[in-house]
Structure 1
Amino acid sequence: MKKTALFFFILLVFISAYGEPIGVKKPSVRNLPSEYRAVFLNFFLKHYANTQQYTEGKKYSYVVKPYISSIAGTYSLCLDIYKNGKEISEIVCLSAEDAEDLSDKLFNLPEKIDFLQLNKKPETKEVFLKILTISKKFEKKLKVSSRNGDTLVNYRNAQPFKGQNVEHITVGEGIINIDILILKNREAARLLGYILNGYRIKGILIIKTY
């Protein structure tokens, strides 16, 4: 009987803590492409259990409001956490030097926020980044950023594409300014989505367009 009572007690605690969904509000982005907003929202909804996009008037066990900004190329993320959808109960912040570092720290959020549980941490997949550009000159090492200056990928070896048969992802509309590969917002958001989902860039291949 005691074991049965203990089981139901634990079950009741679990249901009260995790039975109701976790509402995720649309992220606020500052000094970043507006296209990033959907990328970050999709990340939370895809990778964390029992999360759903916040709807006004619906009851949630917790509500999370992400704020993401960029300062001198680095990322700053803060999460306002509301318990029972009312007043803020906690604010959790972190910073990351580039998008790959940010991805790692996002997947480690359960260490700081106990009600966030990963569905499954994706395996890291190393690929080359293939870029279409009209730029004809580039340095041996490039870093990748959006037009807002946030660092998506820190310095990696760069070389012309000569038909190498390697695993890769492709982005377009990039301009190379000395040692920085600058992507248009739409392409930057695509690359951010790949990185947040576990892709890691091990080198850059340049395809010149005319």
Structure 2
Amino acid sequence: MPRDRITTNTDHVSGRNRRARGLLLSLGLVVGLLAAAPGAQAREATTPDPAGGGSSALDLHKVKVVNNAKGVRITVRMKAVDWEAESTPVGEFRLLLDTNASSPGAEFADEVGIPGDGGFRALKGSKKHRKSWVTYPFPGTCGKTVRERYDLEHGLVVVHVKPKKGCLFHPKHVRVNVRTIQSGYIDASGYEPFTPARVDHLPYKGKFTPWVKYSRS
């Protein structure tokens, strides 16, 4: 399971660029919210990556969050990985899912090594609760409600948590934070590390996308 061992963000920008990218983020969020369901019960929102991570082979592009009767579905679009190329990236993918506005931090995480293993898990609660949410290597009771799709060759990651009483049953609000770390690459000569690692956050380090309210439709 990937760990938070690398936190350096190599995206250094000027104050003017930060303001410009902040404006782009705001515009992107407005577009995403306008595209959602009308009225207060917005059931989905799309957030583009504001700061970019073009130097990383695991560059994040955007994330779409849906919160409706079918459950919570997060779709991440990122740079496609060509596994047949002369070099392939090595790193990590992490998605934090926040489902409780009254409790600080995220309740769940989906993490995987690239290449490697990983899965969905609960970050809070009793040992029994956290064990129930595990999806790898063997799914627990609540873990069975989670569907994970890692289609990196097409730049796609989908995490879908289906509603179930006693697990995640129609949360009032949800939001996410997504992060990739490219720690190096593998080529014909072996593994070549990056120092520092190339990190991309969506929307920003320690920040979450806007809250998406639950809607039955």
TM-score, with structure 2 as normaliser = 0.28
Please identify which structure carries the higher helix content. Answer: 1
**Larger RCO (CA under 8 A, 6+ residues apart):** 2
Q: Computing the radius of gyration over CA atoms, which structure comes out larger, 1 or 2?
A: 1
TM-score, with structure 1 as normaliser = 0.29
